[in-house]
Amino acid sequence: MNDKLALPVGTTLDRFIMRKQEAFPYATGELSQLLRDIALAAKIVNREINRAGLLDVTGAYGQQNVQGEDQQKLDVIANIRFIRALRNGGEVCTIISEEEDDIIQTGNIGGKYIVAIDPLDGSSNIDVNVSIGTIFSIYRRVSEQGADGTMEDCLQKGVRQVAAGYVIYGSSTMMVYTTGHGVNGFTYDPSLGEFFLSHPNITSPETGSTYSINEGSFNSFPEGVKQYVNYCKESGYSARYIGSLVADFHRNLLKGGIYIYPATAKAPNGKLRLMYECNALAFIVEQAGGKATNGYQRIMEMQPTELHQRCPLIIGSTEMVDKVEEYLKSEVEVG
């Protein structure tokens, strides 16, 4: 018999999570179940995205979220799907969502975890069929079980994360996550309805030749960022900016590169959200050997003071991030 006719399909996400469960001495399976709940919701959202053009769920919903951004129909759908999955899973007491003004109490007062989530990042790209994603961050609650989660539970530094990840819905759908023991990527096989390990032990290159930044705002960048962009051009680097954070980050994570969303005149505190975008991706990139900073401080050391706090983000290959920090430091010294 020809063995090539029945090649193994690989390790499923569920099996991988089960094998790694022993890495959490304080858990008895709750975190593993929580990751499975997120994966289930991602499968459902993936289905909705793939049918978007057929079901009239593209386009604007007609309302704005707490950030003042126009909600897309799929933003609302993804938000509902993830909240429902996390509530029904029973492991999460409180959720922070980009699409909700306040914290969401699930009613699971015995839940040990807090989840901060951007249910559908880059949703303005839905109508033009560009890759979009989900970003999530998981914390252990610090308050006593038996009651709703508190604001103290929610406003923890990124260094307190126990897991973080993202799902990218593109030419293939992938879930990438870390629990503080390296980064692993899983590709979804829709014919089997399973995520399979496809990118084990992801290690990001120390440097790269790709930079991702919205150069349309160049004139309002800090001087140090302007100097770095000019340095990239002089060095012959390639500019790659999709305008979908997960897609830009994913490419740079695998191939080497840097993503920059600095403070600008229009957004003096940056645009990206610390709790459910920056912290999650910072945890992932650090576990893969990269670096994340706001230009002056490690992202995961920042103390959040509000749910939807914004911050500048410079993230990617270590040597490239270091270079930006050098330019910004020189700017401060000159100033």
Cite the annotated binding site by residue number: 98, 118, 120-124, 214, 241, 271, 277
d(CA 181, CA 199): 14
Instruction: Tell me how far apart the 2 most distant CA atoms of the chain are, in Å.
Output: 74
Please list, residue by residue across 309-333, b when 16 or more beta carbons sit within 10 angstroms of its beta carbon and e when fewer do.
bbbbbbbbbbebbebbbebbeebee
From residue 169, alpha-carbon distances to 48, 51, 65, 222 in Å are 11, 12, 22, 33
With residues binned 3-state (H G I as helix, E B as strand, rest as coil), the percentages for the chain, rounded to 5, are 40, 25, 35
Q: What is the DSSP string of 107-144?
A: S-TT--EEEEEEEEETGGGGGGT--EEEEEEEEE--SP
d(CA 123, CA 59): 9
AA identity, residue 255:
K
Give the residue ranges of the annotated binding site for Mg(2+).
98, 118, 120-121, 277
Which H/E stretch holds residue 162?
A: strand 161-169
Which tokens go with 193? Answer: 């309805």
Give the residue ranges of the annotated binding site for substrate.
121-124, 214, 241, 271
Find, among 30, 58, 206, the residue nearest to 123 by Cα.
Answer: 58
Tell me the β-bridge partners of 137: 116, 164
| Site of tokens 């830009």 | 248
SS3 labels along 194-259: EEEEEECCCCCCCCCCEEECCHHHHHHCCHHHHHHHHHHHHCCCEECCCCCHHHHHHHHHHHCCEE
